Structure 1
């Protein structure tokens, strides 16, 4: 049997970082070939998936993280400029030497050429002769070499590869190789769904479905602008608030990897599209890997994940696989193989992610794409109509993801703009067009929190394809307008019927829509019937269509002329809409160079809100809006500040308000500066879990938010 020392050397020869007991090597003369673990400890722990912190070495005296000095010795050898791994003749890989004299691994340059690149990556010379891709390339190299030894980032923070502890799994399916050198043209190799763990299990105590503890009906409430109006008065723009709330579930409190199959929620197909351009090198990439580790470990065995990365071109690193224990380990390996280099081709990354979704043989009830980038697309974005200030962002989004009027949203893309150099306008547009949200990650340490909030919602979808329909009851009443943010909405030409396509709702999520109508005068009636509201949606747990009708909206009519105060529920939502409109106008002014005017618009909105009854009563939403508007004013202090963070902060706020869904904004550790009124309990729970794992990390760079109570989040600074 091989000695432990030989096993350690073998692991190091494969360029993998391992933990080895000091006792195993203390008696060996070659122990000097290892660097002290204290030099790498914090970086290693930073990148470790959360599930491994409990088993990771706790002190340098008990276990040590050791690296072979041969890693640094090999840095001077000739490397492939594409994969950045060394090229040695006779190591089993063909080498292509171009007419410009630069050499590359054949399989690397063939993949490059496949994407239409016929220019030398080193000297930019245009080639006349290009390599043709063979069919018998050895694909085992990518499986063995997790991270190229010659990549300069090959340090503790960039090469730690942890494995989930392998337990007995019910799945015996063959998952296939971790990486495929030759990507198929049709990405239909997604792992089959395991229908046995989907929703068929029963509660043995009463033989009811396991999701019986879910309040399975959407609730509809309506509020009129005032509770009563004089009979003799007519109103041209009378407001009715339509409030929709998704079902509640208590089971997400126990949601986790071990009991995910028992969680009453819809399973998810998730594709992550990750920027690994050169600007992501170092701590950024290390923290991205850690955040992805958190995502992987919080997906259940019925959820599926695919990993796509892009720099100058995009590549699918991990096909759509169920997150069983085996699938989680393979996904972690794929994530830990990432290295940063090259340009930023967001469009190619989105195309690859969309193709994975398009080519699926089977589909989970919920599907979404997560896109993270810290730069601007340098390959695809072009200006439209000759206006250099208006690039055509729609070119970044594949047609398969574009919203259609007939079928609503297809697959939402939730985008995350990272740092001061990302293209916030582009990322916001991608999210807006596809029906997703845009989050602004200002500091490196909150990547995991931003992802946690997003998947906390995706893993709690209880309503699919919700549509709200509004009909006037009295033929004298006409619908003037619908205030529905970014949700597709329409009023029919007869103005008696309107509809709003809401799409998916997370557990406990709420939506508020303002309907403007006319109210006629009454001669003798004590009541006027106004509207009838109904909604239809699909229950993803049963795949059944549900139709609900709310109570008829009526308003009392009085003989005496009285002055009624605006209903507080209606005024709160009017304040929200007014604030969102002010943000949009301020952003337009700032983009046109008028920062002073933009700040003035926000200040005027703050003053108007302060005079409302809800503000005077210290309504939490109104207080939070004021805090948010003030933050935006501060981020417009100068052109430099606006370019660095103001634009992204405002756009993430607009995304949040237009979809009425929580987004990460700026440094989300500062809860008092953010409006997070749209957070659901499942989002908060996932954020709490993220914080717990970060607390366990030895990294001291992370500053945690003190509280997630709404009062703490909305306390004025």
Structure 2
């Protein structure tokens, strides 16, 4: 275990054991040339004591429409939840926009005094003027870009709006770089296409639909992720392998890599593909489907087909994991079925694609065709059979999402008011494999983490009584340690055990090759 394995009595992870890698695929494939699928699964491991400090810039809409239905007052309440959850390692800035944008609070370290000061600023907000989202976003980016201390810290923007931008140009044209921008739309008149576009321009950002009467819930679950970043700049490289079988050289080839809309780069020389995921939260999962072409072989043989390598940053230091090799036995009697989790992930991607096609049809005033596409999607999902409980939960959420979008397409007006935003939020959430609030329906919780689930309940209680104290992020950590005191230690032991097993397997392959 690393020299910092226990700080202030809080167990933590070794730097190389922060992401759990699993590959799921069939163990055998036919002798003839064949297409082969594998699922690469990555999960952020639990760590308590050494989370990076978070620099959050909140960008708040204070245009005239925010004065309607007490939206601004409800936004102030939700912001108080965010302010009170942060700890001394975190910093917060407040930017507002109407016709113009203003930085009301520099990026301040959280102390008792600064929390009180920032709350006073938020409570003093008034609604007036137009909606210049572009200006607000530009100032927020400037706040983060001007940081003197940024290495090893998590930077993020949380942008909230209830209206249509009518000043300053299209905010989707603002280059946001690698900063995740999480956008929230609430009310009936916000521009979902713009808010979704802003989030999509960033790496890891999400677009959420926030319930006006319970804004704290949407903000809290986004915050739960930012406060549990376990690694940064996560990159995964899938490399096809060329191996010798007797006197013959066998070259495997990657046909496709499916990982949502995260950036991909291909090395033409090696045929490898690298996916850049950005930040990963504790217990958050990323799945990659790899499609390969396995060349024909003449007889039964076990061959190494591809290699998975990961790297990430911890505290500004680049950490490279040991490459892991995936082998497949080629057999003339291969009849194995695809693993359940791989099949379900394939169907999730297909569902995302079909929902997007339905949205495109609806946006083109072809609502009947869009609904027919969703009927086809429902039929496809009904044919999926799963036995494991987590997979059943995912399948149920997929079915509910499709049914909800179909309901929101019952008329052009309902689609314009509710359907388009719902479809866009679903797409972004699926493409990022990251939770996004889809409104008040709690049956639509996909990609959540344990901390998000905890903050959901805390936010509900806070909205009922904002004067009641809430636990800080440090308090949340203490509670998690009490519930699972050996969680990180178990993760560490698992990491070292897996490393030892892989070393023994590599030695066995060397002995087999020399015999």
Bucket of the pairwise TM-score, normalised by the shorter protein: 0.7 to 0.9
| Unaligned runs of at least 5 residues, structure 1 | 1-201, 252-262, 382-391, 403-408, 700-717
Instruction: Note if 1:630 corresponds to 2:375.
Output: no
Distance 1:467 1:436, change over 3 A: closer
Gap change, CA 1:666 and 1:455, over 3 Å in 2: same
1:212 aligns with 2:11: yes
**Normalized per residue, which structure has more strand?**
2
**Aligned equivalent of 1:522, options 297, 301, 306:** 297
Aligned equivalent of 1:553 = 326
Please name the residue that 2:448 is paired with: 679
Among 374, 381, 394, the alignment partner of 2:172 is 394
The corresponding residue for 2:475 is none
Mapped to 2, the partners of 1:306 and 1:642 lie a distance apart of: 36
Contact 2:236 2:274 in 1 (8 A): yes
Query: How much does 1:616 deviate?
Result: 11
Cα contact 1:279–1:374 (8 A) shared by 2: yes
SS across alignment from 1:619: helix
Residue 494 of structure 1 deviates from its aligned partner by 4.4
How do 1:400-549 residues align onto structure 2 when only pairs under 5 Å count? 401-402=176-177, 409=178, 411-441=179-209, 443-474=211-242, 476-494=251-269, 496-540=271-315, 543-549=316-322
| 2:38 and 2:290 in contact (8 A); partners too | yes
Question: Which residue of structure 1 lines up, in the alignment, with residue 370 of structure 2?
Answer: 598
Residue 370 in 1 paired to residue 163 in 2? no
**Largest Rg, 1 or 2:** 1
Q: How does 1:71-82 map to 2 (within 5 A)?
A: none
- State how far apart, in whole Å, the 1-side matches of 2:435 and 2:93 are: 24
Q: Are the equivalent residues in 2 in contact too, given 1:417–1:438 (CA < 8 A)?
A: no
* Cα pair 1:229 1:558 within 8 Å, conserved: yes
1:439 positional shift: 3.4
In 2, Cα distance between equivalents of 1:504 and 1:648: 25
**TM-score scaled by structure 2?**
0.84
Name 1:193's counterpart in structure 2.
Answer: none
* Kept after mapping to 1: 8 A contact 2:92/2:110: yes
* SS class of match (1:331): helix
- Report SS of the residue matched to 2:251: coil
Instruction: Say yes or no: does 1:272 pair with 2:58.
Output: yes
Contact 2:204 2:277 in 1 (8 A): no
1:238 aligned residue = 36
Offset of 1:207 from its aligned partner? 6.7
After superposition, the CA RMSD in angstroms is: 2.2
**Matches of 2:393 and 2:233, distance apart in 1:** 30
Matches within 5 A, 1:26-425: 208=7, 212-214=11-13, 216-224=17-25, 226-231=26-31, 233-235=32-34, 237-249=35-47, 251=48, 263-282=49-68, 283-363=70-150, 365-381=153-169, 393-395=171-173, 397=174, 399=175, 401-402=176-177, 409=178, 411-425=179-193
The count of aligned residue pairs is 454
Matched residue of 2:182: which SS?
strand
SS in 2 for 1:575: helix
Once residues 443 and 663 of structure 1 are traced to their aligned partners in structure 2, the CA distance between those partners, rounded to angstroms, is 12
The separation in 2 between residues aligned to 1:214 and 1:682, in whole angstroms, is 18
Q: CA 1:638–1:494 in 2, change beyond 3 Å: closer, same or farther?
A: farther
Deviations 1:507-555 (A, max 9, x none): 1111001111101222123212210101011113xx3322113531111
Cα deviation per residue 1:116-157 (whole Å; 9 max; x = unaligned)? xxxxxxxxxxxxxxxxxxxxxxxxxxxxxxxxxxxxxxxxxx
More contact order relative to length (CA 8 Å, sep ≥ 6): 2
- Cα deviation, 1:689-714, whole Å, max 9, x if unaligned, reads 21222343599xxxxxxxxxxxxxxx
Give how far 1:441 is off.
3.0
**Does the CA-based 8 Å contact 2:58-2:94 persist in structure 1?**
yes
Aligned partners of 2:44 and 2:280 also within 8 Å:
yes
CA distances 1:599-647 after superposition (whole Å, capped 9, x unpaired): 1112111211221233899722112111111111111111100110100
Deviation of the 1:491 alpha carbon: 2.7
**Taking structure 1 as the reference length, what is the TM-score of the superposition?**
0.61
Checking the alignment, whether the CA contact within 8 Å between 1:571 and 1:614 is kept in structure 2 is no
CA distance in 2, matches of 1:580, 1:393: 25
CA contact (8 A) 1:420 1:442 kept: no
Q: Secondary structure of 1:513's match?
A: strand
Q: Residue in 2 aligned with 1:709?
A: none
Aligned to 1:549, what secondary structure does the other structure show? coil
C-alpha distance in 2, partners of 1:538/1:209? 23
Cα gap change, 1:546 to 1:630, in 2 (>3 Å): same
What is the DSSP-based 3-state SS (H/G/I as helix, E as strand, rest coil) of the residue aligned with 1:312?
coil
User: Take 1:695 and 1:292, find their aligned partners in 2: how far apart are those partners?
Assistant: 15
* Structure 2: stretches of 5+ with no match in the other structure: 243-249, 469-515
Say which is worse superposed, 208-217 or 438-447, in terms of deviation: 208-217
Worse-matched range after superposition: 280-289 or 267-276: 280-289
Match of 1:660 in 2: 433
Q: Is the 1:278–1:343 Cα contact (8 Å) retained in structure 2?
A: yes
- How far apart are residue 434 of structure 1 and its match? 1.4
Determine the C-alpha separation between the residues in 1 that align with 2:467 and 2:417: 30
The answer (yes or no) to whether the contact 1:479–1:495 under 8 Å persists in 2 is no
Question: Retained in 1: the 8 A contact 2:262–2:275?
Answer: yes
How far has the Cα of 1:361 moved from its partner?
Answer: 2.2
